């Protein structure tokens, strides 16, 4: 069952969000496909009202369930807003908000406490890739965060592999590179958390022309789509490319 996850980042007003959601919900999807949407917090209700069948996610979450934390949004608040998921440690959160892997572990735990699914984002920088230490960097991110959690997790886990060098570049990783990273991710998750059915998404300059190739890889369970998800027609073209593939 393929996942198509749209991360809108800091785009869309309420009318634009509702229009996108209505258009995507009404269009044909590949058999068994799941569409997840990560709107800005301000647009969560608009998407939920326009397309209640789409799975909603928060773009971030606080580590605490409540408290004097101005500007933060907790996992119980996300659940109350209709969310089933939330992104954790997206590369832009790491870059601009200084998030680190130990903080990511606290956020993952907060989501599990609320009954939500964490989507933990990992990925190597261009300098890691050029130096041949991309796999090492992925392993560090996974072990630093998941090693903090201890024991069998109380809920599902999704890992989004987003090579930072590919995001917004127009040049994605190859399907084989993404598949190798997914295999490493599953091995490291098992090492930290024991046997766990983890879903792995690929994100990084995906497009209608590349979506089907990534999803032909058995190790890739879906796509986390950034800029190509902003226009409903482009996002739907990705779903259509997969629906008609083969």
Work out the pLDDT band at 246, boundaries 50, 70, 90: low
Is residue 90 flagged as an active site residue?
yes
Which of 64-68, 151-155, 210-214 comes out lowest in average pLDDT?
Answer: 151-155
List the domain boundaries for the chain: 3-243
Residues 105-141: tens digit of each pLDDT: 999 999 999 999 999 999 988 887 878 888 999 999 9
Cα dihedral value 138, 198, 30, 86, nearest 10: -80
Candidates 66, 90, 177, 187; catalytic one: 90
Active site residue 19: no
Q: Is the pLDDT of residue 43 over 80?
A: yes
In Å, how far from its chain's centre is CA 72?
Answer: 19
CA proximity to 60, closest of 52, 69, 68:
69
Summarize pLDDT for 63-119 with one digit per residue, the tens: 999 999 999 999 999 999 999 999 999 999 999 999 999 999 999 999 999 999 999
Q: CATH: 3.20.20.70, 3.30.465.10, 3.40.50.300, 2.60.40.420. Which one for 3-243?
A: 3.20.20.70
How far, CA to CA in Å, does 95 sit from each of 67, 83, 115?
Answer: 25, 25, 28
- The residues near 11 (Cβ < 8 Å, ≥ 6 apart) are 40, 230
Catalytic residue among 92, 162, 187, 217: 162
Looking at residue 2, its pLDDT comes to: 95
pTM, two decimal places: 0.95
């Amino acid at each position: 069952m393929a996942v198509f996850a749209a991360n809108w980042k800091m785009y869309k007003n309420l009318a634009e969000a509702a229009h996108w959601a209505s258009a995507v919900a009404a269009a044909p999807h590949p058999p068994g496909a799941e569409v997840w949407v990560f709107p800005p917090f301000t647009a969560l209700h608009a998407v939920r009202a326009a397309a209640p069948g789409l799975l909603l996610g928060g773009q971030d979450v606080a580590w605490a369930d409540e408290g004097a934390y101005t500007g933060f949004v907790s996992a119980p608040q996300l659940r109350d807003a209709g969310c089933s998921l939330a992104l954790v440690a997206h590369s832009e959160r790491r870059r601009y908000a200084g998030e680190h892997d130990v903080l990511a572990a606290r956020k993952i735990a907060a989501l599990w406490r609320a009954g939500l699914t964490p989507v933990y984002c990992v990925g190597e920088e261009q300098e890691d890739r050029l130096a041949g230490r991309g796999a090492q960097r992925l392993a560090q991110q996974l072990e630093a965060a998941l090693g903090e959690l201890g024991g069998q997790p109380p809920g599902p886990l999704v890992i989004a592999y987003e090579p930072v060098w590919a995001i917004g570049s127009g040049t994605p990783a190859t399907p084989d590179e993404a598949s190798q990273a997914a295999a490493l991710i599953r091995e490291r998750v098992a090492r930290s958390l024991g046997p766990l059915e983890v879903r792995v998404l690929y994100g990084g300059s995906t497009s209608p022309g590349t979506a089907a190739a990534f999803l032909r890889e058995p190790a890739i369970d879906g796509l986390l789509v950034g800029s190509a998800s902003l226009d409903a027609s482009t996002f739907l073209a990705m779903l259509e490319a997969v629906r008609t593939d083969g």
